[in-house]
Structure formats: C-alpha cells, structure tokens
Structure 1
Amino acid sequence: MSIMCNDKKTGAGPNARARLFGLVVSCTLGLGLSGWVAAQQNAPAPAVAPAAASDIVTPALFDAIAERAKKLAKRDYAPIETNIPAALANMDYDQYRSIRFRPEAAIWHKESLFELQLFHPGFLYREPIVLHMANDTPESYVQFKQEFFNYDGPAAPLAGVAPDNIGFAGFRIHYPLNSNDYKDEFVVFQGASYFRMVGPGLAYGLSARGLAIDTAEPKGEEFPVFREFWLIKPGPNDTHLVIYALLDSPSITGAYRFEIMPGAPTEMAVEARLFARKDIQKVGIAPLTSMYMWGENHTRFVDDFRPEVHDSDGLLMAASNGEWIWRPISNHRQLRVSSMLDENPRGFGLLQRDRDFDHYMDMEARYEKRPSMWVMPEGDWGKGRAELVEIPSDSETNDNVVAYWVPAKSMKAGSSATYKYRLRSFDDYLPENVGAKVIRTRIGWGANPGQANPPPLSKRKFVIDFRSGELDNLSTDSPLVAELQKSSGTISELSVRQLPDGRTWRASFKLEPEGNNVADMRLYLKLRDQRLSEVWSYVWYPDAI
C-alpha cells in the first residue's frame, strides 16, 4: 500500500503518492498539441457539432466520449511517451512553486463568472493532460505557451525550456465564492484522477478521485488517470460549470461528467461510465483521500506542541436502514482496512468535525478550516460496502486515509457500469443528520487513580461525548442510557452522564480485550427505547498501545 504526498502549501501533489513508494503512475497523455485554441484536424477525440449553448452540445459530447472509452477498453493499454525536458522533470519544489500562471491569461477571463488557470508541467507532474475547448468548431484545444506563466526567482532559468506542445499538469477553477469582487480558487484537477473543491471560508484539505483500483491489496494499487478534459464554456452569468473527462488505466477506462455548483455548500454532480479492460479485484467508487496523524483518540505520545493534526477525523455513513454511523479515524501501527456493509447507501464521507482552533494550535495549516466531503449516491448502487483504509504514517505531508464504496459485484473484462452521485464540500454540518452526534472519542488505561493492584495496560477506558439533536432538550436526570454491542472482550462500568456544560452527554465504559482478538464495537444513546444519537463505531486493535 502506498501513501500519497499531499503538498499542504499548494493544495496539490497526488502523483507523489506513487513516487514516494516506487509505484508507477501511468499518467501519459502526450498527444500532440498546437495552437492556444487551435483547430485539431485529426484529433482522436469525438467531433463536436456547432452549438450555441452547453446544454445543447454536452449530451452528445458525453455519449461520444463514452463510446470512445468503450472502444479504448477493447484495446491493450498503451502508455504514450511524454516529451518533458529533463530540466522541468528534475526541478525542485521551490522552482515549481515559483512558476505562476498569469491571471489575465485565464480561460474565459472577463467572459464568465468562471475562469480557469493552468498548471505548468514538471516537478512531480511530468505527464501532461489535454484540454479541449468543446464549444468551438471545429473542436479546439488549449496549447501551452510560455507567456501564460511568470518564471520568478529560482524558476527564472526555466523560462523558454518547455516546448509549445508539452501540455499542462492540470487546472484550477476560480469563481466569486466569498465575495462578488474577487474570484476565489475553489476546484483543482491535478495528478492522476485527483481533484479538490471547497466552499466559502474553507481551505483545501482532503481530495476526491475519479476511481480507486485495488487499494490496499497485496499486489499494489493502480491509479487511473484523467487523460483529457473537455471544457464547456459557461454563459456570462451561469453559476454551474460542466466539464467532461476521459479516464484510462491498465485495467479500466471511463467517461466522466462533472457539473460543478459553487456555493454554500459547493457541490458537484458526477456521472461515471466505466468499461473494464481486465478482471478487477476491487473497484473503489467515489474515493476520498485524506490525512490523519493524531487526534483525541490517539493512544501514543507525540512530541509536538499541536494537540491534533488531521484533515479529517472520521468516516460518516448514512445507511439504507436509517442509521447514521460515525467511525473515528486512527493512525495505526499497521495498515488497517475496515468495512460497513449495506445495500443502496444514502451517503458516506470523510468529515472534519472538530472546528476549534484551540484543538490544533496551527497558525499555518489551519486544520480547523479543512473541508468535509459527502458522497450522495443516485440511483441503484446495489449491495456492497463502504471501506475505510488507514495507512501508518509519520508525516502530515502524506495522505494516509482512503474511503470509497466497493460494489459486491466485481467488474470483469468487457463489462461496464454507470455510477451517478453528488459530492458536497462543507464544514461539519449535514442538515439531514438530525440526531445527536459524536463530538470526541478519548481512550486511556482502564486503571482507577491510585488503584493498588491496577489491571494490565491492555484494559482500556473509552469516553465518547455526544452533543446536539434531542440531547439539547434533556434535563440532567433524564434516564438516558447507552446501547453497546461488541464482537469480543469484556465490557464493564458502562454509564451515561451529562457534562457540566448542560449540552454534552458522555458515555463511558471499560474494555478488557480477549487476548489479541480485535474488538469491533457499536454504541448509541437511547431514551425509553427511542434512539437519540448516531452510532459510534470503533474497531480496537490490542496492538494500538
């Protein structure tokens, strides 16, 4: 299993996840490019009929891209050689961050509420993508030009090195998100099939991906790549933006439609039409990738002034039976994979629930501003599981958490599948989740202070605090109880009490593990047989201490 390098300063860096651990990410997109919006006479992409509005051109275009992906899946995977000069491939981080796109060169500059700025190829991003301007006739695409960029400071010697047919490393989308007089960057596509998006007042944190293949499998993960994008020009006052993409990898191809809707919250409607080249052991739908170093449930000493360091602190799932399930994230000593089985789930996502700066104390990273991401399936997703992968990590620059949906029915060579869903980037509040929520989980030794014959360190005390929902209306003497289930071990001293703030209720208990057996636990609060909270779900591994 690999760890993705996440550049906290630029908000991009997905290819480094493979580079760090020697994996090969075939992001080879070296198709010939010529002209800023030059006519492509013999393009392999589907031709686009003349159209005045994106709602006319896009359905036919998407069908054509899907047909191309289907035909591509019937052929062997063929990486295309790239032509990036060694000086660009070998540049360091300081050089790369000193190459800046000139805002006045942005696509649709002063023509729309949306503008696109482009990323220079090089550093970790050596395999360029093709950007098509789908509204132009004949079909056009964007050519790399030196004058789009300023080569400042340490990057000055690189001016003039890139050839005009080199392509781009990705793009970012700007929109007046936080104020009417400034266009904020709020979406980024860069590296493999990674992308990010944020809503007002938030900062980049976790990433989404187009697809995950064989994540956490012994044979190694495969990283599909968005090879080409089709940009649908919005009208001057349009508030939605449509983009298409062609995905490719040794095992699968796909056509993607993204409808981007900035706002509070920012959302993205996604449709993925997938075509398998080979039998695939595990396909991860709507994958999310994040970082967790330590937090409130961490059980090992950390020599750092910051109490918590993470982009996300839990996996939330809205099950088809109406349950809301919260599983806190951990940074384990070993790779851990856990699952929640369901059929047609209502939603799942990685959340950053803790929004208190005092819990992080980091003036640069501002982890309290990192977004949460919610996946809302549309249509019939069938049986499967939400899978959480937790990868050991010793650096916050590495993304080490992955979550996605795994269909029960695997994809075989020649098969196809379509998935539709919406992504929501938000803070920590989901209006659909009306019950009481877990606000923190703490774990410690199960000994009592001053105990003469204390138990072994393996005996643990769990403290789970709930807040909001119907708990706000309860008095201190309300007969609130905790319902607890576990797969192994012995539970003792289970209790529920209200904290002095009058808003928070604490469930606590002690667990004595059964040897080296893992304890999978579920706990929720109820009042006279009425469930008042989401389900706290936790897997305790005895080697965690």
Structure 2
Amino acid sequence: MSLRPTRRQVMATAIVAGALPVLPRPAAAEDPAMGAAQAFSFDQVREMARDLAKQPYAPAEVPDADLLETIDYDLHNQITYRADRTLWGDVPGAAKVRFFHPGRYFKQPVEIFAVQDGKARQIEFSLDLFDLPEDHPARKLENAGFAGFRVMDPDEKNDWLAILGASYFRTSGYSGQFGLSARGIAIDSGGPGPEEFPRFSKFWLEQAPEGGIVIHALLEGPRVTGAYRLDTRHQPGKGVFQTIDADIFLRGDIERLGIAPLTSMFWYGKNNRFVGPDWRPEIHDSDGLEMLLATGERIWRPLNNPPRVMANAFGAQSVKGFGLSQRERSFEQYQDDGVFYEKRATAWIQPRGDWGPGSVMLIELTTNDEIHDNIVAFWNPGEPAAAGKEFNLSYTLDWVSDSPPQDTARFIATRVGAGGVPGQVRPPNTVKYVLDLDGKGLEGLDRSSGVEAVVEASRGTLSLVYAFPIATTDRWRVTFDLDFGEDPSDDPIDLRLFLRHEGQAMSETWIYQAFPSQLRALLADHA
C-alpha cells in the first residue's frame, strides 16, 4: 500500500515556498481576479455532497495532463506565487492566502472561491499570478487550475497552513515546523483492498477574526462524498486550533472507514534504534499514539517500524480523544538542525459529542527512510459503512506541543536490549524492556512504598519485573525481561503495563507490539 508519493514530493511546495524570499509588495497590490458573486452557505455544500452521493462517480478531467507530468519536483519549485497578488493581502488582520500551481504530483485542479457577506466569487486561475522562468513548460498550459492553497504568517515570510493533494492538510503547529498531516477521510487504509484517496475538489474561503480562516470544502471520491467546514485559528507559539464539522455520504460500501485520520512518519526511536543505520539518534515526526477512552483510561502506544504492514484496532464504547504525539522534545535526541524533529507538533483530536462504539485504528508500514510517511491513525465507527449511510461528525483538532495534561504518570521513553543480569550468562531469546515515566502523581513514593508494575504478555515468559524511582531525578523506571522462546513464527507479541499503588492506577497504560524477528536481530547484534 502506498499512502501517497513521498512527502518530500507531495508537500515540497508547502515546505520550500515559505523559505523563498518574498518580494516587496507593490503599491498597486490587488487580489486575484474573481468571477461573479453568488449566494453561499455551508448548507449548500452539504446538499451538493448529498446529491453527488446519489450519482455515479465522475473523475475530474485533467487538462494538459501530459504536460503537467513534465513539471517535476525541481520544475515545480521554480514556480512561485506573486506576493502582490495574495488574497486579502491588503486587508488589515485578515488571513493572507496564496495558491499552488499544479504539477506532476498535483494534476487535478480544484476550484477556489472567496466568501464575503454571504456571497462567493470564484478565484480565476491565471499564469500571471505566478513568477516562473521564461522557458518553463508551465507557460504552455491553457487553463490548468489551482492545485491548492496556503495561508501565510502576518509577515508573509512563511506559511502556517497548507492544503495540497487529495484531502491532506498540514499546519506549522506551535513551533513553525511542519510535520505530520491530517486529511478529510481515509478509505481502506492498511487494507484489506487498495486504499482510496478522495479529494477536496472545491473550496470556499472565508475570513475569520484575528487572521483565522474558515474553509468550506467539498469532498469527492468513488465511494464517498462529503461537506467539511474547518474553522482554523493560529496562535503563534501556542499552536493551530481547528474545529471541524464533517457531513459524510457513502456512495458505496467501505470495509474500513477512517474518520479524522492523521498521517505521520516513524523510522526509529529509542525503542527500535537497531533498525536505523542513520547516524542520528532518532528520526520521527511522532513517537506514539495516545488515546483517552470514555472510561477515563489513558493509553500510550509507542510507534513501531514493523517488518510488515500492521493494522491494530483499539476498541472502545466511545473515545474522548486521540492523537499522534511527539513526546521527545530534546534536540540532543535527534541532532538534526535542518528539520528539527523535536519541534514537530502533536495532533490531538477531541470529538464534539459522543461518537459511539468503534475503535481507534493504527496502521504501521515498514520504512527504511524518513521521506516516507508510514503511520496512519483514525477513528473507525462500529456501525457498518454501507452505501447510502450518512455520518455527521464534529471534532476539534489541535496542533500543539503536547496533549491535554493528565493526573497520573506518563511514559516518556521505551528502550529494549539484551535481557538477563550484567556479569552473568545472558539467557537466550530474552530481551529487557526499560520504560521511563515522568513521575507525576508518584511524588513522595519510593522503592519501599509498594508501587508495582502490572505487566502482561500475549505469549512468552516475563521475569525480573521492577518499578523504582530513578536516583537524582523525579522520574520512575520499570524494567522487565521477556523470553520470547524458540517459536519460528513472527506473530507479534502484545505487551501491556501500568503502575499500581494500593489498588489504584498510578500511570497511563503502556501497550506495545514486539516482533520476534526484530528481537532476534537485536540480540544477534549484541552477541
């Protein structure tokens, strides 16, 4: 399964364009040309999506597709949107919007409208909106249409929101660093059949207070249509905050419907350093899936780079929140002063209302490089996603430094190495897990206080289980050995652990998936 072209290709313009010099705005700056005004409301988008769901899917025509194929990564980066034609560029306090030119990886055009006072006017594509070399192949295009758009910081040097390709969108989060992505919907991600990528085909953009923007979007795909409203606000230094309303209409049956999907990259971290040949200690945009269940249980699942595609479902009667988090915030753990992985945002989703029974799903793909997004997380409703079904959902999506605080200790590091006791013969087929916690809620407790680690394994033998405070710090540590045996199969071993004191849970629940083939490779390196 391919999630999409490499993120360096698909999001190239969103990443690179912000770093390009911005030309001074001429005195005669103007908005791009627009069509006639027409009445507009989000109800119209909803009815449009509902009506389309009753009709056969008609793929969008791509004018000059062969010519667009020639506009590769390098040629696409030679095209820059003219600063003096920024939408709402001269409106004080308004969002500053610029548009993406199409290319090899973004051939299908999208229609974009500007909304004001209940009226929408289509923004007309013109090559005059872009600066590009005289001999550039894009000059031969007739009317290619826009590929997407981005919203600029107030000083217009960098963007803080980009929507480009399928139904993907990304923000610069709390730190100004782009990282993981969100999208409108996921269809059969991770199997069982080919993944389908519906796309936002039309956008209606509306100014919001303090430089925010309200984005109305029409989603179209072979088996789904949808109407989306993304109320998006940027608070520099704090994050990007979105309230998303989604009305989803199914054209056909869907085996695995993904609501509020997030896409990220995890190559290796402390838990699987042995799979990464790179010199940097860790490489990932996110290091764990976090879930808050309706029962109040908080779950932390460190991400993995498995030997094959893995799809895990974490069932719940309801969910209060979930997201892909980046908990490791130390530059020393990444040593990358080019992309600053320690500044990548955590994306936290909180349903508005009760989504009912279902599961948080985690899809993990194998990767051998940082350019491939290999992680997907989403909510999969418990009810069948059958043709004619309608889903009306609302949620918030916060791009921040951390998920909401909790009262109990949380896991901040997962490490694995050879099992046994130093100085003694190491037992075969045995690894040691070492888990660190931040110690919240464990203040005043020590080795003699009766804090215990409750650990379970789906198979194998556990031993040497200890929980104790780390000297000279406010952190705690749990260690245990796992003998995974001689079984030649590579079925994953599911692990589960939490701290308990006097019958009360003192930490979130840590869950993990270990693969004997990877553990054997780890031990072979230690031999």
1:505/1:138 Cα in 2 relative to 1: closer, same or farther (>3 Å)?
Answer: closer
* 1:224 is the counterpart of 2:203: no
Could you tell me which amino acid in structure 1 is paired with residue 66 of structure 2?
Answer: A
2:368 equivalent in structure 1 = 394
2:136 equivalent in structure 1 = 157
2:461 equivalent in structure 1 = 490
Question: Comparing 167-176 with 399-408, which one deviates more in the overlay?
Answer: 167-176
Runs ≥4 residues deviating over 6 A = none
2:81 equivalent in structure 1 = 101
Question: Which one of 33, 39, 43 corresponds to residue 48 of structure 1?
Answer: 39
SS at match of 1:5: coil
SS at match of 1:230: strand
1:449 equivalent in structure 2 = 422
Question: Which one of 311, 315, 325 corresponds to residue 341 of structure 1?
Answer: 315
Q: CA deviation at 1:278?
A: 0.7
**Contact residue 268 and residue 275 of structure 2 kept, 8 A:** no
1:382/1:254 Cα in 2 relative to 1: closer, same or farther (>3 Å)?
Answer: same
Question: Which one of 29, 33, 36 corresponds to residue 36 of structure 1?
Answer: 33
2:336 equivalent in structure 1 = 362
Q: CA deviation at 1:346?
A: 0.4
1:421/1:137 Cα in 2 relative to 1: closer, same or farther (>3 Å)?
Answer: closer
Provide the C-alpha distance between the structure 2 equivalents of 1:200 and 1:124, rounded to a whole number of angstroms.
28
* 1:244 is the counterpart of 2:224: no
Could you tell me which amino acid in structure 2 is paired with residue 36 of structure 1?
Answer: A
Question: Which one of 82, 98, 102 corresponds to residue 62 of structure 2?
Answer: 82
**Contact residue 113 and residue 239 of structure 1 kept, 8 A:** yes
Matches within 5 A, 1:253-272: 253-263=225-235, 264-272=238-246
1:168 equivalent in structure 2 = 146
Q: CA deviation at 1:120?
A: 0.7
User: Percent of pairs identical after alignment?
Assistant: 36
1:471/1:156 Cα in 2 relative to 1: closer, same or farther (>3 Å)?
Answer: farther
1:123 equivalent in structure 2 = 104
Alignment size in residue pairs: 496
Q: CA deviation at 1:414?
A: 1.2
Could you tell me which amino acid in structure 2 is paired with residue 396 of structure 1?
Answer: E
SS at match of 1:195: strand
Question: Comparing 368-377 with 133-142, which one deviates more in the overlay?
Answer: 133-142
**RMSD over aligned Cα atoms:** 2.2
**Contact residue 231 and residue 243 of structure 2 kept, 8 A:** yes
* 1:7 is the counterpart of 2:7: yes
| CA offsets 1:477-518 (integer angstroms, 9 cap, x no match) | 543221112322211010012213321111010112263453
Could you tell me which amino acid in structure 1 is paired with residue 39 of structure 2?
Answer: V
Provide the C-alpha distance between the structure 1 equivalents of 2:504 and 2:118, rounded to a whole number of angstroms.
62
1:300/1:505 Cα in 2 relative to 1: closer, same or farther (>3 Å)?
Answer: same
| CA offsets 1:352-383 (integer angstroms, 9 cap, x no match) | 11111111111212111111100101112110
Could you tell me which amino acid in structure 2 is paired with residue 489 of structure 1?
Answer: G
Question: Which one of 275, 283, 297 corresponds to residue 257 of structure 2?
Answer: 283
Question: Comparing 504-513 with 298-307, which one deviates more in the overlay?
Answer: 298-307
Unaligned 5+ runs, structure 1:
15-34, 41-46, 50-60
Question: Which one of 372, 389, 410 corresponds to residue 415 of structure 1?
Answer: 389
Provide the C-alpha distance between the structure 1 equivalents of 2:135 and 2:450, rounded to a whole number of angstroms.
70
Question: Which one of 114, 117, 133 corresponds to residue 95 of structure 2?
Answer: 114
Provide the C-alpha distance between the structure 1 equivalents of 2:469 and 2:341, rounded to a whole number of angstroms.
29
* 1:307 is the counterpart of 2:278: no
**Contact residue 35 and residue 121 of structure 2 kept, 8 A:** yes
Provide the C-alpha distance between the structure 1 equivalents of 2:212 and 2:120, rounded to a whole number of angstroms.
22
**Contact residue 120 and residue 204 of structure 2 kept, 8 A:** no
SS at match of 1:543: helix
**Contact residue 149 and residue 164 of structure 2 kept, 8 A:** yes
Question: Comparing 304-313 with 77-86, which one deviates more in the overlay?
Answer: 77-86
Question: Which one of 51, 55, 61 corresponds to residue 71 of structure 1?
Answer: 51
Question: Comparing 288-297 with 411-420, which one deviates more in the overlay?
Answer: 411-420
**Contact residue 151 and residue 158 of structure 1 kept, 8 A:** no
Could you tell me which amino acid in structure 2 is paired with residue 118 of structure 1?
Answer: F
Provide the C-alpha distance between the structure 2 equivalents of 1:503 and 1:4, rounded to a whole number of angstroms.
43
Provide the C-alpha distance between the structure 2 equivalents of 1:338 and 1:138, rounded to a whole number of angstroms.
45
Q: CA deviation at 1:12?
A: 4.8
Q: CA deviation at 1:475?
A: 4.7
Could you tell me which amino acid in structure 2 is paired with residue 169 of structure 1?
Answer: A
SS at match of 1:399: coil
Q: CA deviation at 1:299?
A: 5.5
Could you tell me which amino acid in structure 2 is paired with residue 493 of structure 1?
Answer: L
SS at match of 1:4: coil
Q: CA deviation at 1:238?
A: 3.8
Question: Which one of 172, 175, 194 corresponds to residue 198 of structure 1?
Answer: 172
Provide the C-alpha distance between the structure 2 equivalents of 1:472 and 1:93, rounded to a whole number of angstroms.
53
**Contact residue 13 and residue 190 of structure 1 kept, 8 A:** no
Provide the C-alpha distance between the structure 1 equivalents of 2:252 and 2:223, rounded to a whole number of angstroms.
5
Provide the C-alpha distance between the structure 1 equivalents of 2:342 and 2:8, rounded to a whole number of angstroms.
14
**Contact residue 192 and residue 224 of structure 1 kept, 8 A:** yes
1:92 equivalent in structure 2 = 72
1:538 equivalent in structure 2 = 512
TM-score, normalised by the number of residues in structure 2: 0.89
**Contact residue 279 and residue 411 of structure 1 kept, 8 A:** yes
Could you tell me which amino acid in structure 1 is paired with residue 60 of structure 2?
Answer: I
2:292 equivalent in structure 1 = 318
Provide the C-alpha distance between the structure 2 equivalents of 1:508 and 1:316, rounded to a whole number of angstroms.
22
Could you tell me which amino acid in structure 1 is paired with residue 109 of structure 2?
Answer: P
